[in-house]
Amino acid sequence: MLKRVALDLQDQAGKLNRNADEQDKASSGASDSGAPGKPDSNPPGDPGPLNPDLPDVDVRGDVRDDPAAGNPRDIQQGQIGDCWLLAGLGSVAQTLDREGKLDEFLATHMRPVGDPPAHWVVTLYEDGKPVEVTVEAKSTPGGVRGADGQPNWLSIYERAAAEHRGGSYNDINGGFSNDAMELMTGKSADRDGELSLDELEDKLANGEAVSVGTEDVKDEDFDWFWESDEVNRTDVVPNHAYIVVDVKTNDSGEKIVVLANPWGPSGGDLDGEHKSGTLELTEEEYKENFDSVYSMDVK
């Protein structure tokens, strides 16, 4: 219970900081980028590259036609700490794709400007109200890519989220996947603590988008307050969000959950240890490493 209170306080602190930023913009006479419920009246957004020495790269063509769109194993996160965003967007895309509705969703939420597109107008949501955010058809080096290493529609969404949340890719470092789901769809999303595999299976069967978060690493500053849990598998990334792909029964008759790591199908290395791109965990393994569930009824 204390952990959930801490998560809620962290979430509220982030929202207060973003509100304070908006008030600072208003008091200084700066234009309001993406005010809730209003089209973005700014010039096309340019959050700026992560590395000033590496200019943004063009995102060519109509990225909505990507045949791999909706496949969570096609996400390759890059160097931005936005696993929360990509897991949330990816889980929604996966659900829409399974229902044959992803193409329609992207067509109504991404509008190209020019042929080929020089800019994209992306419809995001703030407090359930649509916000049109215009961004250049570019992506920063180190931003999200497809499994083939090429920018895709998620690269444009990532850029739009960075523009909307403050105008910098640093503004999307850290967050919760339920916020990403709401940002993408305008619908209300849930954030729960530990759930059983049966409950996760029911959510998927009911057409919900589901992502999960791993436990922390030990934190000396807070261990005195409560006993921190931590991931106990070397192939699991701590403080990280994963997409729930499936819950199934293995050859031994045991129920397992299949999770996709936004780092990509090959995973990656952290502190000298390899982290898997796909995890298949029993209920015991899952509960030993994960402590939060983010979900939304996409219908």
In the chain, the N- to C-terminal Cα span, in Å, equals: 30
Q: What is the mean pLDDT of residues 285-294?
A: 96
Pair (41, 95) in one structural domain: yes
Where b means 16+ CB within 10 Å and e means fewer, 207-224 reads ebbbbbbbbeeeeeeeee
Pair (157, 254) in one structural domain: no
- The parent domain of residue 112 ranges over 34-46+55-61+68-176
Cα(58)–Cα(136) distance, integer angstroms: 9
Chain-wide mean pLDDT for the chain? 85
For residue 11, pLDDT beyond 70: no
Pair (211, 162) in one structural domain: no
Q: SS3 for 21?
A: helix
Question: Which residue among 153, 176, 199 closes a domain?
Answer: 176
pLDDT of residue 243: 98
Query: 39 in a domain, yes or no?
Result: yes
The residue assigned the tokens 């229902």 is 99
Q: Are 286 and 204 in contact (CB under 8 A)?
A: no
pLDDT of residue 299: 86
pLDDT of residue 52: 85
Q: What is the mean pLDDT of residues 168-185?
A: 96
For residue 91, pLDDT beyond 80: yes
Which of 67-71, 154-158, 260-264 is predicted with the least confidence, judged by mean pLDDT?
67-71
Query: 182 in a domain, yes or no?
Result: no
pLDDT > 70 in the chain, percent: 81
Query: 235 in a domain, yes or no?
Result: yes
Cα(225)–Cα(59) distance, integer angstroms: 47
Q: Report the candidate in 156, 3, 154 with the shortest Cα–Cα distance to residue 87.
A: 154
Q: SS3 for 80?
A: coil
Pair (206, 291) in one structural domain: yes
Contacts of 242 by beta carbon, 8 Å cutoff, 6+ apart = 87, 211, 212, 213, 214, 259, 260, 261, 262, 279, 290
pLDDT of residue 151: 95
Residues 105-147: pLDDT tens digits?
999 999 999 999 999 999 999 999 999 999 999 999 999 999 8
Question: Which residue among 176, 206, 241 closes a domain?
Answer: 176
For residue 211, pLDDT beyond 70: yes
Q: SS3 for 270?
A: strand
Question: How many separate domains does the chain show?
Answer: 2
Band (pLDDT 50/70/90 cuts) for residue 216 is confident
Band (pLDDT 50/70/90 cuts) for residue 16 is low
Q: What is the mean pLDDT of residues 176-193?
A: 97
